[in-house]
Amino acid sequence: TALHTRGAPTAATTTAPALDTNSPLKEIERIKAARELRRKQAELIREARAGKDETDMMVEEFEAKIHQFRHAWMQWVESWKGRRTAQALAEWDAPIQVCVRKRPISKKEAGKKGFDIITTTTAVHPHACAFLHEPKLSLDRSRSIVTHPFHFDKVFDEYAGNDLIFQTTLQPAIPKLKEGKNVSLFCYGATGSGKTHTVFGPEGGRGSATTAADIGLYHYACSQVFGVAAEMGADVFVSFLEIYSGKVVDLLNNRQHINLLEQNGNFIFQGLRESHASSVQHCLQIMAVGTATRTTQATDSNSTSSRSHAIFRLELRVPHTGTTSLLTLIDLAGSERGVDNPSASAAVRREGAAINKSLLALKECIRSLHVNSNYVPFRSNKLTCVLRDCFRAGTCIMVLNVAPTNLTVEQTMSCLHYANRIKEYSHAAGGGS
Ligand code: ADP
Ligand code: MG
């Protein structure tokens, strides 16, 4: 149609009125017109592609293929009944849940010509899927995508705010604290995938959240826990710690080192400051000190915060009965393997290996929760020692944060596999199915 609007004579317009096939003159005219048409078309394509390099064309081709997949998939999804509603998501409440959250593409990624390779279906189990479209370039330079499907309990697209995440994961679990059960939520994922944004909000709680979609889960959790505590007649104690380089430090007490002591099968955090919070506001004030203490530079994979596990705990204690229950939110260290990065220093690589070990230990603990709940190998690692109470009866929610583009395809793929294995453990044991 673009050609017509440019007024190019077409074979049809030159010959249609009187189809005089016998006239050689007309035939020459027709051939000339066709040649002109071809010339114009080639010019149009040249123009359209001016300023575009090989990468742009490759991106377009991959995007077209992904779009094709989405189009077909969406048509199929349209026919489902149990599609997402916040309510349906909240109602799917299993003792262990593995969820995926895709974050929006960032300006920086768009600038690097990153393109979206994650397709999500925000439905409830068993229809909650995330697809990773792996771009492939073959030897003959032909391009294709290989689509890997992953199933989870809940899947959140890039439009889901922290408010929806809270309402559909933690909020339904919080009443369990009243029964003396523990509730925990882990954010797992590579550096820059949105873990800190999820747990603590923009800039790890130091930035000001302007909308309900930006307020960190810890803030929402505080608001609800005080209601539960009042019903129970419980006192609320806040603690906030970090595991960095194999050491446990207290973020509410000037990064003081904490010793873990085992006594009668229980762990004691020697020297940990547990602040008695009298209200939601008070709790947030206490936390402001802790978030300021956490080292900054959220998205830089060399920053301390991306290489540390941050653990936020709210403990509810009923004075006369001695009942305790614990809510724990964990912003895990970046899952990328520092060991694989050739430019990283030896120290950073060692640290990467230690982080990896701790994440594997975590996976083992979650697995044994389902396979053999009498024995949980939490002693194998500092992280799992600290999180021991999270493995007691209650609800354990894992949120896998993923960045959306091809720029991080390998990391995202390995994270999806990690989370998927945890998902399989829970279902093999009958949890949540
Ligand atoms: P991580 O803690 O996993 O390293 P961050 O939480 O620091 O990652 O997120 C990286 C960047 O992406 C930050 O600038 C953050 O504000 C932004 N971001 C992450 N998730 C979202 C989201 N759901 N919506 C908007 N911005 C987000
Ligand atoms: Mg972070």
User: Is 299's C-beta closer than 6 angstroms to any atom of ligand 1?
Assistant: yes
Q: How far apart are CA 390 and CA 183, in angstroms?
A: 7
Ligand 1 atom nearest to CA at 301? 4
User: Is 189's C-beta closer than 6 angstroms to any atom of ligand 1?
Assistant: yes
Of the ligands numbered here, which is closest to the C-alpha atom of 187?
1
Ligand 1 atom nearest to CA at 331? 2
pLDDT bracket for residue 297 (50, 70, 90): very low
Determine the average pLDDT of the residues in 421-429. 73
Among 92, 139, 143, 147, smallest CA distance to 119 is for 147
> What separation in Å is there between the alpha carbon of 191 and the centre of ligand 2?
6
Residue 131: what pLDDT?
95
Q: Is 193 annotated as a binding residue?
A: yes
Is residue 6 over pLDDT 50? no
pTM summary value: 0.84
Reported ipTM: the value is: 0.99
Residue 52: what pLDDT?
74
Determine the average pLDDT of the residues in 365-381. 77
> What separation in Å is there between the alpha carbon of 430 and the centre of ligand 2?
33
Q: How far apart are CA 304 and CA 402, in angstroms?
A: 20
> What separation in Å is there between the alpha carbon of 102 and the centre of ligand 1?
10
Q: Is 354 annotated as a binding residue?
A: no
Residue 124: what pLDDT?
60
Determine the average pLDDT of the residues in 16-39. 72
Which of residues 9 and 89 earns the better pLDDT score? 89
Residue 192: what pLDDT?
93
pLDDT bracket for residue 340 (50, 70, 90): low
The amino acid at residue 6 is: R
Which of residues 413 and 52 earns the better pLDDT score? 413
User: Is 401's C-beta closer than 6 angstroms to any atom of ligand 1?
Assistant: yes
Of the ligands numbered here, which is closest to the C-alpha atom of 305?
2
Q: How far apart are CA 392 and CA 92, in angstroms?
A: 21
User: Is 104's C-beta closer than 6 angstroms to any atom of ligand 1?
Assistant: yes
> What separation in Å is there between the alpha carbon of 152 and the centre of ligand 1?
21
User: Is 205's C-beta closer than 6 angstroms to any atom of ligand 1?
Assistant: no
Q: How far apart are the first and last CA of the chain?
A: 54
Average pLDDT of every residue of the chain:
83
* Phi–psi pair at 172, nearest 5 degrees: -65, -20
Determine the average pLDDT of the residues in 252-266. 87
Q: Which of 223-237, 302-316, 338-352 has the lowest mean pLDDT?
A: 338-352
Atom 22 of ligand 1, nearest CA residue: 103
The amino acid at residue 142 is: S
pLDDT bracket for residue 8 (50, 70, 90): very low
Residue 5: what pLDDT?
38
Q: Is 419 annotated as a binding residue?
A: no
Helix H or strand E segment including 336 = none
pLDDT digits (tens, 9 = 90+) for 130-176: 999 999 988 888 899 999 999 898 999 999 999 999 999 999 999 99
Determine the average pLDDT of the residues in 26-47. 80
Of the ligands numbered here, which is closest to the C-alpha atom of 160?
1
Percent of the chain with pLDDT over 90: 43
Mode of pairing for the β-strands spanning 275-277 and 235-244: antiparallel
**Are residues 179 and 172 in contact, defined by beta-carbon separation less than 8 angstroms?**
no
Q: Which of 14-23, 66-75, 241-250, 379-388 has the lowest mean pLDDT?
A: 14-23
Q: Is 430 annotated as a binding residue?
A: no
Which of residues 179 and 78 earns the better pLDDT score? 179
Q: Please state, as a whole number, how many other Cβ atoms lie within 10 Å of the Cβ of residue 56.
A: 12
Q: How far apart are CA 433 and CA 81, in angstroms?
A: 19
* Strand, coil or helix: 268: strand
Residue 328: what pLDDT?
96
Residue 63: what pLDDT?
92
Q: How far apart are CA 400 and CA 362, in angstroms?
A: 14
> What separation in Å is there between the alpha carbon of 309 and the centre of ligand 2?
9
Top mean-pLDDT range of 17-31, 104-118, 342-356, 413-427: 104-118
Encoded tokens for 348: 């950073």
Encoded tokens for 31: 């051939």
Q: Is 192 annotated as a binding residue?
A: yes
Q: Which of 11-20, 235-244, 328-337, 394-403 has the lowest mean pLDDT?
A: 11-20
Q: Compute the C-alpha angle 45/46/48, nearest 5°.
A: 60
Residue 295: what pLDDT?
61
Give whole-number Cα distances, 328 to 129, 255, 263, 310, 337, in Å.
Answer: 27, 19, 22, 10, 25
Residue 9: what pLDDT?
39
Q: How far apart are CA 122 and CA 100, in angstroms?
A: 10
User: Is 102's C-beta closer than 6 angstroms to any atom of ligand 1?
Assistant: no
> What separation in Å is there between the alpha carbon of 331 and the centre of ligand 2?
7
Is residue 61 over pLDDT 80? yes
